[in-house]
Amino acid sequence: MKSNDERTAQVDDVTMTRREFARDGAVIGMAGLLGPALFATRAQAAARHHRQDAGQTSPPAAVRLAEYSQYFIGAQGVELARGTVVNGTQISVECQIPAEVRHPYPIVLVHGHGGQGSDWMSTPDGRPGWAVLLLEQGYKVYLVDRPAQGRAPYEPQFHGAFRNAPTYEEIAHAYTGAAGAAGLHTQWPGSGQIDDPSLDQFMAAQGPAFAGSRRAQQVWGSRAALLLDDIGPAIIVAHGDSAAFGWLAADARPGRVKALLLLEPGAPVPDVSGFASPGVPLSSLKHLGALPVAVISAEASDSTQGDAKTVEALRQLGCAAEHVQLADRGLHGNGHYMMMERNHRQVLQVLTDWWTSHEGTAAGTGGDDGAGATAPAASAHPEQAALGLSIAEQGCFWVGIGRKPMPYGTIAAGQSYVQYFVPAKVRHRYPIVMIHGGGSQITNFIGIGRRPGWLHYALQEGYRVYLYDRPGYGRAPYHPDALGPGQMRPFATLEIMASIAGAGREWPGSAVAGEDPLLAQFAAGEVGNVEDLPLHSQFCARGLNELLDRIGKCIVLTYAAGGFFGWKLADDRPDRVAAIVAAEVNGRPFDSQCPWGLTALPMTYDPPARSAQEFNLVRKSMPSDWPRPLMPYQLQAEPARQLVNLKGIPIISIVNDAYGPGSGPAQVAFLKQAGCSAECVQLSHIGLPYNTNVMPLEKNNRVLFDLIRDWLAQHAPDAL
């Protein structure tokens, strides 16, 4: 087996210089750590936000939010030999509720095939997606990630062998190029070919699809029913094969689905599969009644005939189904991904007009009645409602996108996901980039139990915020041919989570495994730690460097295992890092994960170090007042090499006393010895003795963020 140094050198041989990285369109080769094939990658210029739609003369007004949250529906535990884990049948729900609700029913947006909830959030060229446009119109909006897709992690022990995600060639041929439907496709926001930056953004979101089994669709139906039990009557907009999610929901909860709008669901196979073989027989749907259904077909797509058959089959079941062809409404040149295309705003208008014209029909379909047109957002958590957040812009994009040729086609490789929020009143010059920890995802910062998280508090204080999903986590899809098989190691059981959360007194639930739904919520988003940290670090460096090249100087906030990547980012882009906040970050100096001090990749030292073996190390002891086992750590022998690029960057390390890696004091000692300006804040020393390693989610997370805010005001003042 190769050492970390050997693997790092293999990466460094072909790492881009900063100048090369900054050139849009630069292509590099990267040594095949996953096999002999080379990566082809570009520094992306696509999906730059703050972009308006064609014909829009002014930016939209800010939206006041009563709630922004993320949670899982159907997070069930299953007992294995090693403990209780969440069984992979959960769906992720991203919820946004405007302070002024102007429509009676919320909109549930369900992605298709290899996509995820981000399909509705931003277009591939960076314009606001349907979710944002609907929120601006006063709708409650719920984005769904189906099991094993997006924020609902793929777990091989439950979902089976990985199914190849769509390739560039498949998508370019069938959906984004001009070949479909006699060359009529003109609305894709780019060339639609393999070198199209918009196609890169699209492909970066693609993961495996688990739509083909009866079991998968049974899970969809049950989770859809639970979602409707949670949010009440709703309109469901579903894309492609997620039509099944919609009509299974309507069948399971008659009257609660007020309308279905199905974007090119394809043709059913009567009495065999209305969805995807083997599927659920159409004849099994008994409770749809006179449900209003619109089947939307695009001109430059081959789905029109199949969609017509779907309409006929639904009419036979008693539905009030209508075939809406965009060309008949004056919208030409659209393809299958109409919600992402140049005229997506006009396409959405067709849907909202259709729904408005059918409101009376929906009200008479029976079941639960909706709220009034000006109903308050009653489901908002009281702590969220009290914040009074007002958002001027939001959206998402991917950075660090590489293209990797495989025998079956080209796949996206090494990409990271970024979700951004801009408050209506920006009060700080520098945005905050938040990097999640361990085997988790950016939900670390969104809160749990629909309570506010550090994201909310930063926005309330007037910071722009960029949440960063590392490659293979959350909405940066895992693909073994791109990232290797080692990332999917089993993560913590509910029992382990209970021991962490229960070690203090600030967890917002009971911290009892099998009884506390918040433990299940946390575990439902977990994947597992990476095995090849040097390779993962290389991908993170590529994505984070590109992010900072795009947004400029910022504050870097890292949590737990995300700390590795903050140190490397500051070394790569020292002029673009205003401060580093390290909350409970992992890594003792020069341990097996951190051969270069606090990172798996080389840092810039003076005098230079050509390999990790050149460091002369000595053992040190933890502070005598440290409450946990006083494990020794290592520092450099004097005279110590200096981290020249981190000098002058203010650094704070925040550590708890109840439970965690206990790395903070050792890290700060290392940083100070290397010439950095760093301090360690031990929470018990400031009257906060009961936090644990999951501090961003705990009951006093507002107090902890205020600590960060006050430290930044003193050490990195940037008030506008």
- Does residue 166 have a cis bond before it (omega within 30 degrees)? no
> Which of the four pLDDT bands, split at 50, 70 and 90, describes residue 361?
low
Percent of the chain at pLDDT > 90 equals 68
* pLDDT single digits (tens) 184-222: 899 999 999 999 999 999 999 999 877 656 778 889 999
Overall fold of domain 414-491+526-715: Rossmann fold (3.40.50)
> Which of the four pLDDT bands, split at 50, 70 and 90, describes residue 266?
confident
Lowest mean pLDDT among 330-334, 461-465, 569-573, 653-657: 653-657
Interatomic CA distance for residues 43 and 582, integer angstroms? 28
End-to-end CA distance of the chain: give it in Å, rounded: 52
Interatomic CA distance for residues 566 and 676, integer angstroms? 14
User: Whose structure tokens read 């907009």?
Assistant: 237
> Which of the four pLDDT bands, split at 50, 70 and 90, describes residue 24?
very low
Cβ(29)–Cβ(103) under 8 Å? no
Helix (H, G, I), strand (E, B) or coil at 710: helix
Structural element, H or E, at residue 142: strand 141-145
* pLDDT single digits (tens) 443-461: 999 999 999 999 999 999 9
- Does residue 696 have a cis bond before it (omega within 30 degrees)? no
Instruction: Please say if the pLDDT value at position 229 is more than 70.
Output: yes
Residue 32 pLDDT: 32
Burial 222-259 (b: 16+ CB within 10 A, else e): bbbbbbbeebbbbbbbbbbbbbbbbbbbbbbbbbbbbb
Residue partners of 690: CB distance under 8 A and separation at least 6: 504, 505, 506, 658
Instruction: Please say if the pLDDT value at position 166 is more than 80.
Output: yes
Give the residue-averaged pLDDT of 586-605.
Answer: 96
* pLDDT single digits (tens) 641-666: 999 999 999 999 999 987 766 788 99
Other C-beta atoms within 10 Å of 356: how many?
A: 10
Burial 36-67 (b: 16+ CB within 10 A, else e): eeebbbbbbebbebeeeeeeeeeeeebbebbb
Instruction: Sort residue 55 into left (φ over 0), alpha (ψ -120 to 50) or beta.
Output: left
Looking at domain 63-164+211-328+338-363, its CATH architecture is 3-Layer(aba) Sandwich (3.40)
Residue 127 pLDDT: 97
Give the residue-averaged pLDDT of 325-350.
Answer: 97
Residue 2 pLDDT: 38
Lowest mean pLDDT among 493-497, 516-520, 705-709: 493-497
Residue 530 pLDDT: 83
Helix (H, G, I), strand (E, B) or coil at 645: coil
DSSP class of residue 289 equals T
Tell me whether strands 416-423 and 389-399 are parallel, antiparallel or unpaired.
antiparallel
> Which of the four pLDDT bands, split at 50, 70 and 90, describes residue 629?
low
Interatomic CA distance for residues 372 and 243, integer angstroms? 27
* pLDDT single digits (tens) 464-517: 999 999 999 999 999 889 988 766 566 678 998 999 999 999 999 999 998 999
Residue 145's identity, in one-letter code, is D
Other C-beta atoms within 10 Å of 618: how many?
A: 9
Of the candidates 361, 454, 483, 379, which has an alpha carbon nearest to the alpha carbon of residue 654? 454
Interatomic CA distance for residues 213 and 493, integer angstroms? 27
Instruction: Please say if the pLDDT value at position 584 is more than 60.
Output: yes
Residue 616 pLDDT: 97
Burial 137-164 (b: 16+ CB within 10 A, else e): eebbbbbbbbbbbbbbbbbeeebeebeb
Residue 494's identity, in one-letter code, is L
Instruction: Please say if the pLDDT value at position 29 is more than 80.
Output: no
- For the chain, the farthest-separated pair of C-alpha atoms sits apart, in whole angstroms, at 83
Give the residue-averaged pLDDT of 261-276.
Answer: 65
> Which of the four pLDDT bands, split at 50, 70 and 90, describes residue 181?
low
pTM of the complete model: 0.91
Interatomic CA distance for residues 6 and 12, integer angstroms? 10
Burial 468-484 (b: 16+ CB within 10 A, else e): bbbbbbbbbbbbbbbbb
Residue 218 pLDDT: 85
Average pLDDT taken over every residue of the chain: 86
Structure tokens at 142: 């719920």
Residue 548 pLDDT: 98
Instruction: Please say if the pLDDT value at position 161 is more than 80.
Output: no
> Which of the four pLDDT bands, split at 50, 70 and 90, describes residue 36?
very low
> Which of the four pLDDT bands, split at 50, 70 and 90, describes residue 4?
very low
Of the candidates 561, 414, 528, 559, which has an alpha carbon nearest to the alpha carbon of residue 482? 414
DSSP class of residue 646 equals T
> Which of the four pLDDT bands, split at 50, 70 and 90, describes residue 360?
low
Give the residue-averaged pLDDT of 367-374.
Answer: 41
- In the chain, CATH 3.40.50.1820 covers 63-164+211-328+338-363, 414-491+526-715
Structure tokens at 53: 């739609």
From residue 466, alpha-carbon distances to 472, 607, 715 in Å are 18, 35, 21
Helix (H, G, I), strand (E, B) or coil at 456: helix
